[in-house]
Amino acid sequence: MTATVLVVEDEREIRELLRRYLERAGYGVLTTGSGAEAVRLLGERGVDLALLDLGLPDVDGDEVLREARERGRVPVVVLTARTAVEDRIHGLRLGADDYVTKPFSPTEVVLRVGAVLQRARGTATGAAPVLSYGSGRLRIDEARHEVVLDGAPVEVTPTEWGLLTTLASVPGRVYSRYELVNRVRGYEFAGYERTIDSHVKNLRHKLGGVGPELVETVMGVGYRLGWSRDP
Ligand code: CA
From the options 1.10.3720.10, 3.40.1360.10, 1.10.10.10, 3.40.50.620, give the CATH code of 130-225: 1.10.10.10
Report CA(54)–ligand 1 centroid distance (Å): 7
Three-state secondary-structure class, residue 78: strand
Specify the pLDDT at position 191: 54
Three-state secondary-structure class, residue 53: strand
Report CA(228)–ligand 1 centroid distance (Å): 46
CATH class in words for 4-121: alpha beta
Three-state secondary-structure class, residue 196: helix
Report CA(32)–ligand 1 centroid distance (Å): 12
CB 135 within 8 A of CB 47: no
Report CA(183)–ligand 1 centroid distance (Å): 28
Torsion sign (Cα): 30, 33, 37, 39? positive
Q: Is the pLDDT of residue 134 over 80?
A: yes
pLDDT digits (tens, 9 = 90+) for 70-102: 766 788 888 876 655 555 555 555 667 777 777
> Where exactly does CATH 3.40.50.2300 map onto the chain?
4-121
**In three state form, how does the secondary structure of 118-159 look?**
HHHHHHHCCCCCEEEECCCCEEEECCCCEEEECCEEECCCHH
pLDDT digits (tens, 9 = 90+) for 105-120: 898 899 889 878 877 7
109 or 169, which is more confident?
Answer: 109
> Where exactly does CATH 1.10.10.10 map onto the chain?
130-225
CB 98 within 8 A of CB 116: yes
Report CA(114)–ligand 1 centroid distance (Å): 23
Report CA(218)–ligand 1 centroid distance (Å): 45
